[in-house]
Amino acid sequence: MNISKFPNAFYVGDIVHHYNEYKGKKYVCYKRKLSLITLSEHKKIVKEKLAICYFMVVNGEVMKIGQTSGEDGLHSCMGFYGVAGLDDPSQTRFGINLLMREEMEKP
C-alpha cells in the first residue's frame, strides 16, 4: 500500500548506519547499529511518550506498520530495531533489521 493512502501520516526521518562501530568482545552480525536520524522539526515529538502508529516506508510503499507507547516514544522503538544484530533480538526484530539493511544497500 502506498503511504499517500494515509493522509495524516508525516515523515519524521531516515534510518541510517550509526557512525560508531561496535568494539565489544562478543560476536555480532554487524559492526554498526542502525539509527533514526530525525528531522529537526520532529525531534521533540519523536521522544515524547505518546501512543502512536508508525510506518516504515521504502520508495513510497509501506513495508511495516507498528505501534508504540513506550517511555521514550518512537526514538526508543526504532532503537530496538536498530540494535538487532548487536544484541540478542527476537526473530522479528532481527528480520526487520536485516530487511532494512538490504534496502539500504540497494543502489
pLDDT in tens, 78-102: 888 888 878 777 888 889 989 999 9
Check pLDDT > 90 for residue 71. no
CA distance 81 to 58: 16
Do the Cβ atoms of 57 and 63 come closer than 8 Å?
yes
Grid coordinates 502508529 are at which residue?
A: 53
Check pLDDT > 90 for residue 30. no
What's the pLDDT band for 31 if we cut at 50, 70, 90? confident
